[in-house]
């Protein structure tokens, strides 16, 4: 597990341990997760001092010749949710100090007929989210080819060795050569938003590392220079800008209770007006009748 550790890591000013990290395969390759397994870590105060601080080493000398960008992809996501690195990841570049300030938002959606949320048990993921459902739907389709992508979860009781990994021919010409429209209409898909979900809104800022800091690094590590650290080191700070939780609750626009209240109010107004009018008419008729009968004003 030591290979999973970043160059340096601090959480709430305490050194991280091997148990804080785990490995997961994604469509962008192997990724390291923090706080994804074991006891859930939490913070009680906002600010970068009480967040996660990472010193990452890009190792550009190991990049393939066709690589076009350098740095890391970072994703903030709910625990138990399969990370969509290519779709939602944030790019951070070497030679910079990057601050990602986040805030937690909890969503409560309504099921049909008032909303479009749905939750059901997934076969390959312990928790229902729309991203997990989409990933499982894609996996159900690729199983028709008898193979799985390297980052997809195991199917049934089979181990990774039991199930063949899809090769280039499978990907380019056979199993994966489908359009977005075909995938959306695949019978295994019925992925709506979860009724309860957690999102992390964020703002990101970055600045170049100072020359003073670079000189300190050069003094600590032999056979290095300024360009080495400019091209490889990233200082990443992830923290809460506000520890309060924003809750977004979906409600019925026009509930049955509101409908009955409006009907009752309308009926009360109409019936009240009708009784008053009827009383006035009766009073008028009686008055006219008595005047004619007795010849005097009543």
pLDDT surpassing 50 at residue 245: yes
Lowest mean pLDDT among 32-46, 179-193, 281-295: 179-193
Domains and their CATH numbers in the chain: 1-108+199-253 (2.60.470.10), 119-191 (1.10.287), 257-294 (no CATH)
Looking at residue 267, what is its pLDDT?
67
pLDDT surpassing 50 at residue 230: yes
Q: Indicate left, alpha or beta for 132 from its phi (over 0: left) and psi (-120 to 50: alpha).
A: alpha
CA distance 285 to 296: 15
Confidence at 266, pLDDT banded by 50, 70, 90:
confident
CA distance 167 to 11: 40
* Contacts with 150 (C-beta within 8 Å, 6 or more apart), sequence order: 25, 165
Confidence at 5, pLDDT banded by 50, 70, 90:
low
Looking at residue 293, what is its pLDDT?
77
pLDDT tens, position by position, 73-84: 999 999 989 999
- The arithmetic mean of pLDDT across residues 179-207, rounded, is 76
Mean pLDDT of the chain: 82
Parallel, antiparallel, or unpaired: how do β-strands 52-57 and 233-240 relate? antiparallel
Confidence at 202, pLDDT banded by 50, 70, 90:
very high
pLDDT surpassing 50 at residue 2: no
Looking at residue 159, what is its pLDDT?
45
Lowest mean pLDDT among 38-52, 172-186, 251-265, 272-286: 172-186
pLDDT tens, position by position, 77-111: 999 899 999 889 999 999 999 999 999 999 999 98
Burial degree of 264 (CB within 10 A; 0-12, 13-18, 19+): exposed
Percent of the chain's residues with pLDDT above 70: 83
User: DSSP for 32-64?
Assistant: EEES-SSSPP--SS-SGGGSEEEEEE--GGGS-
Confidence at 207, pLDDT banded by 50, 70, 90:
very high
Given a contact cutoff of 8 angstroms between Cβ atoms, the answer to whether 25 and 139 are in contact is no
């Amino acid at each position: 597990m030591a290979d999973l550790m970043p160059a340096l890591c601090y959480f709430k000013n305490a050194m991280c341990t091997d148990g804080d990290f785990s490995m997961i395969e994604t469509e962008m390759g192997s990724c390291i997760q923090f706080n994804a397994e074991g006891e859930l870590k939490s913070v009680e105060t906002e600010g970068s001092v009480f967040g996660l601080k990472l010193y990452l080493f890009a190792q550009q000398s190991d990049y393939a010749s066709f690589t076009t960008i350098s740095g890391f992809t970072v994703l903030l996501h709910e625990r138990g949710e399969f990370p969509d690195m290519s779709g939602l990841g944030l790019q951070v570049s070497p030679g910079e100090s990057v601050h990602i300030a986040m805030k937690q938002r909890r969503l409560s959606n309504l099921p049909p007929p008032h909303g479009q949320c749905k939750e059901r048990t997934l076969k390959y993921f312990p928790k229902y989210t729309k991203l997990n459902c989409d990933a499982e739907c894609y996996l159900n389709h690729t199983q028709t080819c008898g193979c799985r992508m390297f980052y997809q979860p195991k199917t049934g009781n089979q181990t990774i060795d039991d199930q063949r990994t899809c090769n280039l021919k499978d990907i380019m010409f056979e199993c994966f050569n489908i359009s977005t429209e075909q995938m959306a209409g695949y019978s295994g898909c019925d992925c709506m938003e979860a009724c309860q979900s957690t999102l992390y809104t964020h703002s990101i800022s970055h600045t170049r590392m100072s020359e003073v800091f670079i000189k300190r690094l050069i003094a600590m590590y032999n056979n290095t220079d300024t360009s080495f650290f400019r091209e490889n080191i990233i200082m990443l700070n992830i923290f809460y800008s506000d520890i309060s939780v924003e809750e977004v609750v979906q409600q019925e626009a026009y509930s049955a209770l509101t409908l009955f209240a409006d009907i009752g109010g309308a009926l009360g107004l109409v019936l009240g007006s009708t009784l008053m009018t009827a009383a006035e008419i009766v009073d008028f008729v009686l008055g006219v009748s008595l005047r004619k009968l007795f010849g005097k004003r009543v």
